[in-house]
Structure 1
Amino acid sequence: MEEHKIVQRNLALQREWYGEPLGDRVRRLVVAFNVSQAHLAEVLGISAPMLSQVMSGRRAKIGNPAVLARMIMLERKVLTPEVASGDPAALRRALDDVRDAKPTVSHESLPVNDGHAERAAIGFLRGIAGTTELMEAAALLAENEFGTLAELLRRAARAT
């Protein structure tokens, strides 16, 4: 397969797996923390050449789940007021915290779907409709092959 086709395939896989190309996510971190790509790689626990390959799409994924967990930790730290202010000491502390972190990656700790969105949706649905209405809507959706939505409505109907 041609190099350019491999890169396009890998970028498409990154969009599917990570929500967007990893190069975009990494560049935002480089800017937010005002560090070089090599320094960011060290903080994440990945070699600079490997990070470059992932960013450019020459590789599709980050193989080490702890590296991905550290990247997500940094993305979350960007949202804190002290880091968002750009305070150099806060930026340094955040980078050091993440570099020193030993994230445990398991099904329960993956941030992809931690259940918050589902609980919020169920709470919202309970706030606008009663049990009977939710069950009737679930039945209608199930008839039309929208099983996932129907199940969410059923869970909301059962929630107390």
Structure 2
Amino acid sequence: MGGSDDEVPRNRRAQTEVYGEPLNDLLVRCAGALGLTQGRLANLLGVSAPMLSQLINGHRVKLGNPAAALRLQHMRDLLIDVETGRTAVPEALDQLERNRTADVFTMTTQQDVGGVVREIQEVFRATASAPEFLAAADRLALDHPQIAELLRAYGASRTADAVQHYRRSRSVGR
């Protein structure tokens, strides 16, 4: 590829602005944690292998396809869940496969809920450990069962379970 010598560092800085880190770093982590080849990563994102290679090597800044960009965000979120033990690798791979074939609107809705729930869990987990939330939930269960359920769902449960709690809570409040 033609271009100046500073093209790759400039593109990687731009990727960091868009994605939070250079895509090479993010995708290498995804491949390692999820046991994926570069070709399988491309397939799950819905892009060609050459396009993914250009992104990884810093010759392109971002994904042009909005659905692929959403899939990448979801892959990143699942990577965090796998790295923290909230989601098992097979479950993450199943979700990625469903997103690969999903309607973009369905995937967007799933992503929004998952992102919100992960943010809530991060706040809880920055406050106390899962065992502490479980102990507090046990103490409250008899007098305040809904609060106990909230502590268990966001303080100690896997993200998929917390998403179910979130959806149940939102449907009750409507």
TM-score bracket relative to the smaller structure: 0.5 to 0.7
| Structure-to-structure mapping, 1:81-96, within 5 angstroms | 81=85, 83-84=87-88, 86=89, 89-96=90-97
Residues 83 and 11 from structure 1, CA distance in 2 versus in 1: closer, same or farther, beyond 3 angstroms? same
Secondary structure at the residue paired with 2:5?
A: helix
- Aligned partner of 2:24 in structure 1 is 23
Asked whether the equivalents of residues 70 and 103 of structure 1 are also in contact (C-alpha less than 8 Å), the reply is no
Q: Distance in 2 between matches of 1:43 and 1:29?
A: 11
Give the direction of change, closer, same or farther, for the CA distance of 1:82–1:90 in structure 2 (3 Å limit): farther
For structure 2, which runs of at least 5 residues remain unmatched after alignment?
124-174
Q: Which residue of 1 aligns with 2:54?
A: 53
Q: For the residues of structure 1 that align with 2:16 and 2:86, how far apart are their CA atoms?
A: 30
Q: Deviations over 1:58-79 (max 9, x none)?
A: 1111111110101111222231
Q: Which residues of 2 match residues 1-160 of structure 1 at below 5 A?
A: 2-78=3-79, 79=81, 81=85, 83-84=87-88, 86=89, 89-104=90-105
Map Cα deviations across residues 86-145 of structure 1 (whole Å, 9 max, x no partner). Answer: 4xx435423322222232369xx5x999xx69xx8xxxxxxxxxxxxxxxxxxxxxxxxx
- Which one-letter code corresponds to 2:54 in the other structure? Q
- Distance in 1, matches of 2:11 and 2:34, equals 26
Say which is worse superposed, 62-71 or 96-105, in terms of deviation: 96-105
Give the CA deviation at 1:82. Answer: 6.7
Residues 77, 115 of structure 2: 8 Å contact kept:
no
| Off by >6 Å, runs of 4+ in structure 1 | none
Shift of the 5–39 alpha-carbon distance from structure 1 to 2, 3 Å rule, reads: same
CA distance in 2, matches of 1:112, 1:68: 14
Unaligned runs of 5+ residues in structure 1 are 121-160
Q: 1:2 to 1:92 in 2, by over 3 A?
A: closer
Contact 1:22–1:54, Cα closer than 8 Å, also in 2: yes
C-alpha distance in structure 2 between counterparts of 1:34 and 1:112, whole Å? 23
Query: Larger Cα Rg: Structure 1 or Structure 2?
Result: 1
Q: Percent identity?
A: 34
Aligned residue for 1:4, secondary structure, equals: coil
Q: Letter of the 2:15 partner, please give it.
A: Q
Question: Number of residues paired by the alignment?
Answer: 114
Farther-moved stretch of structure 1 (56-65 vs 70-79): 70-79
Structure 1 residues 60, 101: closer, same or farther in 2, change over 3 A?
A: same
Instruction: Write 1 or 2 for the structure with the bigger share of helix.
Output: 2
